[in-house]
């Protein structure tokens, strides 16, 4: 969770550097990139076995060499197509046509997707930022069910100056477990409660934002839950934004008793729930194609006004045509696509099983119903409780715990992360995902097998 920033701190930065207040706010808050760069300077490889192993970043590195080889062999620079301005920043006709076909076949869109329904931007975070800017006036809100991907908050707040409104579950009557995050009824209650809270705070709500498959829980939303969320949005004239960046990263997990296949919101007939111009999907090349560095995101929307609004600022977010062509070639190669998707799903299943077996052998609880993405949600709550002070079973809730206890537990969460880093492994704290209960962490398993085994072993040594 972000600390409060005082006006005094902002004023000092504006005077010292001659910045705007909004940029001074960001300077005071800081950013992670210096730490990321330092970590990357000593990253684990078979030739550098003492290097840092990152199990905290939700990348899929398993087939990067294969994707790199495919691009090298399939894409050549065509000066007329790649080195000029072309048709402008909204996306190459080649990629937009390929994506329309991809959404129709792989996402099974209920209404056919046209290439004019698609815009290209540099990554899904850019898509979400552009949507927030286009939908929200300053200080208007977007509801996001908890826990949620750490990038959602800046996507809503930074440029749009919107307000993110967490929808909590644990405080609801009848809540039992994290499975309730995927329950139609519990989502209805959580969203209605968040909407009422926003109204009481004087915040006008404009949209609901979800990740499907869910990040950080790694589970796909059931179709009936998506319909309930769409119904809520439709009845309140809200936009529904679905981040589906892990759509093709679904795998078999025999331990998951309640997992469901991936269902895109565009595959459903939602005509009785919500107007289709209020439904938008964000997708990208980064996760499913092991290519986060290509920086290609996709907005799929049947809202002509919204497409026009995002197009008006797309000149600031222009993806190179050569990069777009690389992905288009993959999407149009049916044989490659089918083989790659199958191989990726098998590898994700294998690596997930390695991580789960390790967790079970060392009695580390985890959320059991993951079947998508590259990560697991693990329970280290007992390590945030001080047994010397007989705190076992103490309240780790971010909403009901006394402030003094909450700050103490947040400090211990930070210390746990530091100790992991000192031992050469990075994981992500639950507070980064606005967890409702401190002590949960996200670990990622889509790394080289030797690195995964070594990283998991290092995870144990922080207790020493």
> pLDDT tens across 78-119, in order?
888 888 888 899 999 999 999 999 999 999 999 999 999 999
Separation between Cα atoms, residue 92 and residue 95, nearest integer Å: 5
User: 69 near 77, Cβ under 8 Å?
Assistant: no
Bridge-based pairing of strands 297-301 and 279-284 is: antiparallel
pLDDT band at 396 (very low <50, low <70, confident <90, very high): low
Sheet of strand 279-284: strand arrangement: 118-121, 297-301, 279-284, 239-243, 205-211, 141-145, 163-167
What separation in angstroms does the CA of 198 have from each of 20, 127, 139, 205, 279? 28, 24, 11, 7, 21
User: 249 near 344, Cβ under 8 Å?
Assistant: yes
Separation between Cα atoms, residue 325 and residue 81, nearest integer Å: 9
Count of CA atoms in the C-beta half-sphere (13 A) of 261: 5
Reply yes or no on whether the pLDDT at 252 is more than 80.
yes
Per DSSP, 328 falls in state: H
CB neighbours of 296 closer than 8 A, spacing ≥ 6? 95, 120, 121, 122, 123, 284, 285, 286, 319, 323, 324, 327
pLDDT band at 390 (very low <50, low <70, confident <90, very high): very low
The mean-pLDDT minimum among 41-45, 187-191, 335-339, 429-433 falls in: 41-45
Backbone region of residue 303 per phi and psi (left: phi > 0; alpha: psi in -120 to 50; beta: other values): beta
Nearest 10 degrees: CA dihedral of 62, 64, 65, 69? 140
């Amino acid at each position: 969770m972000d600390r409060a920033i005082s006006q005094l701190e902002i004023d000092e930065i504006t005077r010292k550097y001659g910045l705007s207040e909004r940029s001074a706010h960001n300077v005071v808050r800081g950013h992670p990139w210096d730490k990321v760069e330092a970590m990357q300077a000593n990253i684990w490889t078979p030739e550098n076995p003492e290097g840092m192993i990152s199990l905290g970043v939700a990348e899929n590195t398993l087939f990067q060499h294969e994707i790199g080889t495919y691009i090298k062999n399939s894409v050549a620079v065509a000066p007329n197509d790649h080195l000029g301005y072309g048709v402008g920043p909204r996306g190459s006709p080649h990629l937009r046509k390929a994506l329309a076909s991809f959404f129709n076949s792989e996402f099974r869109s209920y209404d056919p997707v046209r290439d004019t329904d698609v815009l290209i931007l540099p990554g899904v975070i850019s898509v979400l930022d552009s949507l927030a800017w286009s939908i929200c006036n300053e200080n208007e809100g977007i509801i996001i069910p908890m826990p949620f991907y750490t990038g959602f908050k800046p996507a809503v707040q930074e440029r749009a100056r919107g307000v993110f409104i967490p929808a909590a579950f644990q405080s609801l009557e009848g809540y039992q477990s994290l499975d309730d995050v995927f329950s139609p009824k519990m989502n209805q209650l959580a969203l209605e409660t968040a909407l009422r809270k926003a109204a009481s705070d004087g915040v006008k709500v404009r949209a609901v934002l979800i990740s499907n498959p869910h990040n950080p829980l790694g589970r796909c939303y059931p179709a009936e839950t998506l319909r309930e969320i769409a119904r809520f949005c439709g009845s309140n004239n809200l936009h529904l934004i679905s981040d589906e960046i892990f759509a093709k990263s679904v795998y078999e997990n025999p331990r998951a008793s309640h997992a469901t296949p991936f269902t895109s919101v565009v595959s459903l007939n939602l005509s009785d729930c919500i107007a289709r111009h209020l439904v938008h999907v964000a997708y990208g090349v980064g996760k499913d194609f092991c290519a986060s560095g290509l920086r290609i995101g996709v907005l799929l929307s049947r809202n002509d006004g919204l497409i026009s609004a995002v197009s008006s600022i797309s000149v600031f977010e222009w993806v190179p045509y050569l990069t777009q062509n690389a992905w288009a070639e993959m999407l149009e190669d049916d044989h490659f696509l089918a083989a790659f998707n199958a191989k990726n799903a098998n590898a994700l299943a294998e690596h997930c099983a390695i991580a789960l077996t390790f967790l079970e052998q060392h009695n580390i609880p985890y959320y059991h119903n993951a079947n998508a993405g590259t990560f697991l949600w693990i329970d280290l709550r007992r390590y945030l409780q001080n047994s010397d002070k007989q705190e076992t079973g103490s309240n780790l809730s971010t909403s009901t715990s006394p402030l003094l206890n909450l700050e103490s537990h947040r400090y211990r969460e930070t210390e746990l992360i530091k100790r992991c880093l000192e031992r050469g492994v990075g994981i992500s704290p639950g507070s980064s995902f606005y967890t409702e209960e401190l002590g949960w962490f996200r670990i990622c398993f889509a790394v080289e097998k030797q690195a995964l085994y070594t990283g998991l072993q290092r995870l144990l040594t922080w207790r020493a």
